[in-house]
Structure formats: C-alpha cells, structure tokens
Amino acid sequence: MQQVGDLLRRKGTEIISITPEATVAEAVDLMAEKGIGSLLVMQGGALCGIVTERDYARKVVISGMSTENTCVADIMTADVLTTAVEKNIDECMMLMTEKRIRHLPVVDGDRVLGIISIGDLMKAIISDNERALGALDQRTD
C-alpha cells in the first residue's frame, strides 16, 4: 500500500500559495495560470487556510461579491484538514470522500510539505490495482 510520502516523491512538493490579504481576483488568476483548483493560504510560512474554486463559486459568484475588493481571508476555509507523509492513500481517500474535499495539504508538524488531490489518489490507487493484477497474471502463467 502506497503512503502519502511515496505519492509526494513522484508528484513533487511544489507549494503554490497566496496570502490571506490577497484579493480573490489574484487567487483566481493564480489558479488559472497554474492550472490548479486550490491554493494554500500561507502567512509567514504557516498554513492558515485553503481557498478553492468551489469557495470562489459558492462564496463570491453566487453572493455577488467583488473579486477585486474581497480578500482571500474572507472566503478561505480556515479549519484545514491535513495529512502526514506516513498515512496510506486509502486513509486519505476515505477522509476526502467523507469530508467531501478535493485537496489535502501534507504537513509535518507546522511545516507544509506539499498538497495532494483526489486525482492524485485515484492515479495511485489505479497504479496499485494494475500492479496487483499484473502479479496475479504472472501467477496464472
């Protein structure tokens, strides 16, 4: 069973973040530029929230807030669920499914090591399943 640390080693540990004082317009532009669906909200190296496309759609677009005049802090999720490198991918998948989230920061104490998405987990699970099927095929030969 793969662990989060294995996944991060393959995926990489680039952390794309924004400050809580940045505007929602800046956050949306950065997500579009990087082709990602979430940003970690960091203040002085510390994780203080996460802002997602879903936050933007539900809290800004629907309510008619201004992207130029609204701060990320006003729409971010401050109570961020996280995981650790030693957790296995099945535990993360269960957590993300249960809590209906698509992005999970990976931390070691207060230090952010990276972020995984539900898509990353799906790829890892498929890879594990393909390896298991390959091993079974070899047994039947």
Render 47-94 in DSSP notation, one character per residue: EEEEEEHHHIIIIIITTT--TTT-BHHHHSBSS---B-TTSBHHHHHH
Report CA 139 to chain centroid distance, whole Å. 38
pTM of the model: 0.86
Q: What is the pLDDT of residues 91-102, one digit of tens each?
A: 999 999 999 999
Q: What is the pLDDT of residues 32-71, one digit of tens each?
A: 999 999 999 999 999 999 999 999 999 998 888 899 999 9
Number of helices (H) and strands (E), helices first, in the chain? 6, 5
Instruction: Identify residue 98 by its one-letter amino acid code.
Output: E
Whole-number pLDDT of residue 89: 92
